[in-house]
Structures are given as C-alpha cells and as structure tokens.
C-alpha cells in the first residue's frame, strides 16, 4: 500500500473509534430525527389544507404540547400513585414469598434442598433492601440525566423539523457527487418506513392499553391504570415488552383475596397479544418494512448491548433503517448489478475466429503482376 492509502486507512480507523465513543450522542440524534420526521409528516398533512409551512408546524407543535400537558395533568398523577402502590404490593409479596416457600416445603413428605436455597436467597435480598435508599442520589442523578436528554431531543427535533431540507442537503454532501441523487431516494424510503412504523406502533400501543384497561377492570384486578399504561408503553419493545407487562398484574392478582384471577389475567394477555399480532399488526402495518422475528430479536440484542436501554427501545426503527440501506445500497446497487463474466460461465458458448481462406500461389502471382502493371501505367 502507498503512503496515501495508509493515511486514509488510519483516518478511517480513528473516525470509527470516535463514532463508537460518542454512540450515545448519535443515538439521541437519531431519536431527534425520528421525532422530527413525525412532526414534519403531520405538518405536511396540515399544509395540504392550505396553511403555510411555518404555521402548520407551529400548530402541530402546539397540539403536541397541549396533549402532553393534559397527559401529565390527567394521567401521570394517578399513574404515579397506583405505581407506588404497585411497588409496595410487590415488596410485600417478596417479603411473604419465603414463608410461602417454607409452607410448601413443610407440606411435602421430604425436604427439597432447592427450596431451602431459594428461601435463604430471598431472605438475604430482603435483609439488604436498605441498599436502595443508599442509591437514592444515584437514582436522582439518573433521573435528572433522563430529563436533560429528553429536553435535548425535543429541542433538536424542533430545530430539524423547522428546516428539514437544509439538514438533508448537508447530509447528502457526505456522499460522492454521482451518488447523491440515489442517496436522496434511499433517505425518502427510510422516512416512509419510519413514519409507517411510528404510526403503526402508536395505534398498536393504544389498542393494547385499551383492551388491557377494559379486561382488567372486568376482572377486578387492583391498580388497573398502572397495569394498562405499562402494557401500552412496553408494547414499543417487541417480543420483550409484552412478556414484561404481564408480570405485574399476575403478581398483584396472586396477592389479592382471589388468587385464581392470576390465571384469568394470563389468559387475557395471551388473547390481547394474539389479536394484536395476528390481526392488528398485519392490518395497520401493511406498508411497513417487514422484519423476520429472528432478525428483530437479534437486532434487539445487538442494539441493547451496544446502546443500553435506549438502544433496546429504538431497536426496531434502527433495524428498519439498516434494512432499507442494505436492501437499496448493498443488494440493489451492488449485488444485483454484479453480473457474472460470460467467458467463465459454464453455459457460455465459445466463439472461435473465422478461418482465413487459403489462396493458391498462382493466383497470388497473377495478382502481383496485375498490381505491377497498374503502377507502370
């Protein structure tokens, strides 16, 4: 390799290292881009009604701001209250669990060593529960960081939505000049895929929240709002979220005077997830970029290990964008255009050159004499 190639390789390695070190900031920027795309899509729909661009975006932002205020006034206080009661019930259940295990061990004709080990472990966890209070300042610090990151995402998203074309052109300049028009088309495909994903997941989460609220209310399970809202929020995390959401209502039902309700709650959540998976998702997300279940789970594991909880939450939109770029750039523009050499193909027909016709020596002599005569004339 030449000196310039070595310098280019070293610069590439340094750039990748820097990008890896600031991956959390890049993920926040990607979150802001997703929010800006949602605001821009709604602003375009309002703009079709005849409202100018700046007023349509302002109307969308004010509408979201008003919905957020109503949400924090009407939903957050009762949710926080019920969530606090839920935590207390779970702590009570954990404290009663050793006695329950001992009772099972006493009813058995012989003692199981595993049950005694479970009892000792639970007792040790209860004895060290005061460690939570020692981490209060750490928890407060983490909460403050989450609020600051949320504020940063909101400010960035509004700045991006205010003038999306300028930021889009700046991003396209990172590509070679011959590929910028193609890159712009791929960015349009990514935008459509993200809008479809965001609209579909919002409808799906609202559907899960409504059915969970109605079903748990009919069953008479305590703290209905907290369970239903957790089910709707955790629905943003495919595969893992629905599994986590069923835990709290089952535990609360077990601690209630009617423990049999736990079985009914489990059946209710299975019915809700089947309806959401086999009817709502294919109907609402018909135009969404489809991902295989194994690829979705692999993307969740990868992005969660690389970016933490926020990576797990945004694993699906990240996977959708990655799939769009791989499908359009790698497969469409490189692999599909990579044709096989016909001379090396086993089915190719080898074309031999035509044979040179043999000429008699007498004819050559006559032709030479004729050329000599013409030159003399």
Nearest to 207 by CA among 242, 244, 253: 242
pLDDT (tens, 9 = 90+) of the chain, 377 residues, equals 677 778 878 888 898 888 888 888 888 899 899 889 888 888 888 888 888 877 888 888 888 888 888 877 877 777 777 777 777 776 776 666 666 666 666 666 555 555 455 555 555 544 444 444 444 444 444 566 777 888 888 888 888 888 888 898 988 988 888 889 999 999 998 888 888 888 888 888 899 999 999 999 998 888 888 888 888 888 888 777 888 888 888 878 877 777 788 889 899 989 988 887 777 766 665 555 567 777 878 888 888 888 888 888 888 888 888 888 888 888 888 888 887 654 454 444 444 444 445 444 444 444 454 444 444 43
Q: pTM score, two decimals? A: 0.69
Q: In Å, what is the CA distance from 125 to each residue of 80, 118, 120?
A: 25, 11, 9
Please give the DSSP secondary-structure letter assigned to residue 358.
P
Measure the CA–CA gap between 372 and 377, rounded to whole angstroms: 9
Measure the CA–CA gap between 227 and 82, rounded to whole angstroms: 9
Measure the CA–CA gap between 54 and 62, rounded to whole angstroms: 12
Query: Cα–Cα–Cα angle for 308, 131, 124, nearest 5°?
Result: 100
Nearest to 189 by CA among 294, 332, 23: 332
> Under 8 Å CB-to-CB from 27, ≥6 apart: which residues?
307, 310, 311, 314
């Amino acid at each position: 390799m030449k000196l310039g190639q070595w310098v280019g390789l070293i610069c590439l390695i340094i750039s990748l290292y820097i990008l890896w070190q600031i991956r959390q900031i890049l993920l926040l920027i990607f979150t802001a881009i997703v929010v800006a795309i949602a605001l821009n899509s709604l602003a375009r729909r309002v703009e079709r009604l005849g409202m100018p661009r700046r007023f349509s975006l302002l109307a969308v932002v004010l509408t979201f701001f008003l919905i957020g205020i109503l949400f924090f006034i009407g939903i957050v206080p009762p949710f926080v209250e019920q969530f606090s009661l839920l935590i207390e019930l779970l702590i009570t259940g954990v404290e009663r669990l050793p006695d329950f295990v001992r009772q099972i061990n006493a009813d058995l004709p012989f003692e199981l060593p595993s049950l005694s080990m479970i009892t000792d472990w639970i007792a040790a966890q209860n004895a060290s529960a005061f460690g939570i209070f020692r981490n209060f300042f750490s928890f407060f610090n983490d909460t403050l960081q989450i609020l600051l990151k949320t504020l940063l995402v909101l400010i960035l998203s509004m700045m991006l939505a205010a003038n999306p074309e300028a930021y889009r052109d700046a991003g396209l300049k990172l590509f070679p000049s011959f590929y910028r028009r193609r890159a712009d088309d791929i960015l349009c495909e990514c935008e459509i895929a993200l809008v479809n994903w965001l609209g579909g997941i919002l409808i799906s989460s609202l559907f899960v929240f409504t059915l969970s609220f109605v079903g748990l209310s009919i069953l008479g399970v305590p703290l209905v709002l907290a369970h239903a809202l957790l089910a709707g929020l955790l629905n943003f995390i495919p595969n893992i979220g629905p599994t986590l959401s069923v835990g709290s209502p089952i535990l609360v039902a077990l601690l209630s005077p009617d423990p049999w309700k736990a079985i009914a709650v489990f059946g209710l959540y299975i019915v809700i997830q089947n309806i959401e998976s086999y009817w709502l998702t294919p109907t609402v997300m018909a135009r969404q970029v489809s991902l295989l279940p194994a690829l979705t789970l692999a993307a969740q594991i990868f992005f969660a290990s690389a970016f933490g909880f926020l990576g797990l939450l945004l694993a699906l939109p990240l996977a959708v964008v990655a799939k769009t770029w791989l499908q359009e750039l790698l497969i469409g523009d490189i692999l599909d255009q990579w044709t096989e050499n016909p001379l090396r193909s086993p089915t190719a027909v080898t074309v031999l050159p035509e044979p040179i016709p043999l000429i008699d020596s007498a004819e050559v002599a006559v032709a030479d004499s004729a050329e000599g005569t013409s030159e003399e004339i």
